[in-house]
Amino acid sequence: MAEVKVGIINVTGYIGMEIARLVHLHPRVRLASVTGRSAAGKEIGEVSPHLADIGLSIKPELDRVDLAFVALPHGESAAAVVALLERGIKVVDVGADFRLKDAEEYKRWYKVDAAAEYLEEAVYGLTELNRERIAAARLVANPGCYPTGAILALAPAVSESLIEPDIIVDSKSGVSGAGRTLNLTTHYAEINENAAAYAVDGHRHLPEIVQELQGLAPGPALSVTFLPHLVPMTRGILTSCYAMLAGGKAAEGEKGREQVLKLYRDFYQGEAFVRVVAVPPQTKQTWGSNLCLIYPTVDLRTGRLMVISCLDNLVKGGAGQAVQNMNLMLGFPEETGLEGLAVYP
């Protein structure tokens, strides 16, 4: 079998480094080329000592590869992605530039123009929901970290019309989700022993959540309130979702809880990286792994569905999902290179 070469644009960010770590251990591909704007010309071990065994120099431009991961900020990845596609290279874009199908909606939330001619071609890379399309794609838009946890938590309920369309999504994220750029909000003295809500008037990941859930919803338009929080930990996202059960969709009392649990377990049966669990999960139970843990239940007093999901924002919420998508695009079993268990405690 011919060697499959992959590359990473912007290996010096948190997601880029995590992709490099996962791909270096992958048995079916070779990390052949990496770029980094300010670090060009340096050895990767100089910038990230934990990746020194990779033994690559960071270059200003990517060499010829079969597939590239683009880990640039929104507004910057589109040009790099288009250039790669024109060279015949498959792409997993870890940024936000191809996630939304509506160019005007993208501009409204991200304040830059979208590469509109490629939006329809790009496949939203949440593997559990778009497996066949991802396998046939040359451009995959990796999901955002918050949407990954929220969509996986709500997909069974929305697709089965189990809930009313008014949905609340409450998420708590570790600080690595903000990336490596220095700012006051993520300064140690600000985040340590502190927790804060942000983007109260609307987070950029909200339209992504709505877009993908609405595509599963056979009923009326969804009304989603999404409120993210920053909490003093490095990795992890815990998402709590709430919605009233639709009339007649579930039995009352414990039987209704059992029906909801069965619905979720049936929906995710056979999935390599989604676990429907019997007790509320914790972020530390997913640390370093590509797992998303989901706990669905019903508040018996109010008839409200409550779903809690946990994932590592840098793995299933980023780099691990990107590698999972790469596996499908290259014809490998999707769990290849991602079998590692969580690090605990």
Q: Three-state DSSP class for 268?
A: coil
Beta strand segments in the chain, E: 4-9, 29-35, 58-59, 67-70, 90-93, 123-124, 139-141, 163-173, 196-197, 223-230, 237-245, 274-276, 292-299, 304-311
* 127 CB-near residues (< 8 Å, 6+ apart): 134, 273, 321, 324, 325, 328, 334
Helices (H), the chain: 14-24, 44-47, 77-86, 103-110, 116-119, 127-135, 145-159, 188-191, 206-214, 253-267, 320-329
From 145, 241, 292, 310, the catalytic residue: 145
Angle formed at CA 151 by CA 149 and CA 156, multiple of 5 degrees:
120
Known catalytic residue at 292? no
Alpha-carbon distances, residue 148 vs 33, 118, 165, 331, 343 (angstroms): 28, 22, 19, 23, 21
Question: Which residues are designated catalytic?
Answer: 145
